Structure 1
Amino acid sequence: MNHPVQMSNYNAWATQTLLERIKELPSSVMQQEVNTSFSTIGEAFAHVYAIEKCWLQIMSGTSMSKAIEACLPLQQETLRYSAEEFMVVFSELAEQYKAWFRSQDDLEQTIVLENPYVGTRSTRLSEIAFHVVNHGTYHRGNISTMLRQLGHASTMNDYSFFWYQEPVKSI
C-alpha cells in the first residue's frame, strides 16, 4: 500500500464527509461568526483549500514564494462559498492530487523548501503529502468545534471510519 496516496484519499474523503454534514444544516452556518481560530466555517474551509492548492504547486516544482503568491488570493475568493461550492472545488483538487501522485516515481525524492516564514530545509515529497493531510485533519477538528459552538453536531471523519467506507478508487 502506498501510504501517502492512501492518506491523500482519506483527506479528500474526510473533507467531503464534513461538507456533506454541513450541507444538511441551514446554509447560513457557513458564515455564522464564532469565537475561535477562524471567524467562520467558510473562512476555515477557504484556508484549507488555499493551502492544499499551494502545497500541490510546491510538490509540482513551483517555489514556495510563488505558490504562496498564487494561492493565498484563493482564500479570499472562496471565503463565501457554500458547502456545495466547496464540495466541487475540493473534489477537483482531489483529482489534481491523484494525477500528481500518478505522475510520481519517487515520493522519497527530496526537494528544497525556501519557506519565507521559517527558512530553508530539504524535505521529502512524502513528508509534504503527510503534512497536507495533517493540516486538513487539524482544521476539520476546528470546524467540528465551530459546529458545536453553533449548536450543531458534527460528523465522524476519523481515519478509522475511512477504513469502513466503500472502497475509494485507487490512484
Structure 2
Amino acid sequence: MLKQTHQLYDYHVWANERLFGHLEQLPKDVFHAEVTSVFPSVSQTFGHMYLFEQLYLCVLAGVPNENIFPRMSVWAEQAQGKTVDETRQLFAGVAEQYRDLLQRTPDPDKEMTIEHPKYGSLNTRFSEILQHVVNHGTYHRGNVTAMLRQQGYAGFPTDYLFYLLNQQESQR
C-alpha cells in the first residue's frame, strides 16, 4: 500500500507539471483571462487548488483546525496574481512538503479522525485523504482543460493511464 500511495501522489505531481508545461507554451494572458466556468480564470482555479493542497497537507500532518484556518487567507494570497511559473513554483514547494510527509508516514492506512467545521467528524485513513487530494486535483485539471478550450486552445492529457505509460517508457 505504501508504494501505491507514493505512486498516486507522484501521478498528481506529474499531471500538474504537465499542465503547467502546457500553459507555459500558450500566450501569457490565457492564464488570467476571465471565462465563464467554475472559477473565473485558470489562475484562480490553480489558486483554489493550491489553497486546498496546503489545507489537506495540514490535515494529514495532524495540525488542529484552529491552527489551519488562520493560514487559509495567507495561502489564498500567496497564489494571487502569479504567473504560470510562479504558480508552478508554489506547487513544487507544497509537493516537496507532501513527499516529506509521505516519507515520515510508514503506514498510509493509519486511521485518523478529522474534524470538519461544517460536517462534523470523519473516521478515515491517511491514504483516503491523500486519494481525495489527487481526485480534487484531477477534477480541477479538467476545469482548466474546459477553460482552455473555451479560449480556443487545446487541453493537455493528464489521465492516470498516460502517467503509467510515461513511467513504463521511462523505465525502458
**TM-score, scaled relative to structure 2:** 0.92
Q: What SS class does the counterpart of residue 112 from structure 1 fall into?
A: strand
**What corresponds to 1:93 in structure 2?**
94
Instruction: Report the count of equivalent residues.
Output: 169
Q: What SS class does the counterpart of residue 166 from structure 2 fall into?
A: coil
Q: CA deviation at 1:77?
A: 2.6
**What corresponds to 2:106 in structure 1?**
105
**What corresponds to 1:57 in structure 2?**
58
Q: CA deviation at 1:48?
A: 0.4
1:3-152 to structure 2, matched below 5 A, reads 3-152=4-153
**Structure 2 Cα separation of the partners of residues 70 and 124 of structure 1:** 24
Cα deviation per residue 1:132-166 (whole Å; 9 max; x = unaligned)?
Answer: 00000000000110000011111111111111225
Q: 1:69 to 1:40 in 2, by over 3 A?
A: same
Q: CA deviation at 1:95?
A: 1.4
Is contact 1:12–1:94 with CA below 8 Å preserved after alignment? yes
Q: CA deviation at 1:23?
A: 0.4
Give the aligned residue type for 1:97. Y
Q: Structure 1 or 2: larger helix share?
A: 2
Unaligned runs of 5+ in 1: none
Q: Displaced runs of 4+ in structure 1, greater than 4 A?
A: none
Q: 1:72 to 1:139 in 2, by over 3 A?
A: farther
Greater Cα shift, 62-71 or 99-108: 62-71
Greater Cα shift, 128-137 or 1-10: 1-10
Q: CA deviation at 1:72?
A: 4.0
Unaligned runs of 5+ in 2: none
